[in-house]
Amino acid sequence: MQALLVIDIQNDFCPGGALAVADGDAIVPGVNALMDGFDAVVLTQDWHPTGHRSFASQHGGLEPFSMTQMPYGPQILWPDHCVQGSLGAAFHADLRVDRADLILRKGFRSEIDSYSAFFENDRKTPTGLEGYLRSRGITDVTLVGLATDFCVHYSAVDAATLGFNTTLREDLCRAIDMDGSLAQARQAMSDAGVILR
């Protein structure tokens, strides 16, 4: 049984959004076309409350993309993005949302960020996705979405570490690529056993 994990294809990560990934919207037709070939389709959705602690606006004097320390470790501070109920948090209008078996919202705890579809950034608090996939009999997952070097990367590494046969479709992802983050992410995924296609 195979699942397609579609990571964070939301307006704020597409051109014109608060945390836009270059050409982020260009992957939507390909992702849509891929959906029918899978037993299950899961969409993840970044879903931050107003004033989330990962927002630079909550740390006086610190700029977006700077680093700070959180109780769970180092954290990049982001522009305010994907605020619950906002247009920016909505899925891209052309994404086949109705094909989803599950929509998993993450990042809704105000004190902790969540890159991975499987765990919060403390690397301990589960989102429940592993249990859902196992209860569906899923053994293989393929990941697509935004951004390759953050939420897709962390989700792929966790999927592989949890024992799922994990494939990343690089052509259906786009990266932020901050200071070599894409190369680091590709290495980490490869080291974890993710198949990069």
* Rounded Cα–Cα distance for residues 55 and 53 (Å): 5
Roughly what angle, to the nearest 10 degrees, separates helices 153-161 and 181-192?
A: 10
Residue 94: CB atoms within 10 A of its CB come to 12
Question: Active-site residue 98, yes or no?
Answer: no
Closest CA to 175 of 149, 194, 155: 149
| Residues forming a β-bridge with 69 | 74
Say which amino acid occupies 195. Answer: I
Question: Active-site residue 14, yes or no?
Answer: no
Closest CA to 82 of 23, 148, 10: 10
Question: Active-site residue 8, yes or no?
Answer: yes
Which pair of tokens denotes residue 35? 């959906």
Residue with tokens 């993309």, as numbered in its chain:
65
3-state helix, strand, coil in the chain (%, to 5): 30, 25, 45
CA dihedral 38, 164, 152, 131 (to 10 degrees): 80
Of 25, 106, 149, 158, the active-site residue reads: 106
Of 12, 80, 82, 151, the active-site residue reads: 151
Of 8, 25, 46, 113, the active-site residue reads: 8
Q: Which residues are identified as catalytic?
A: 8, 106, 151
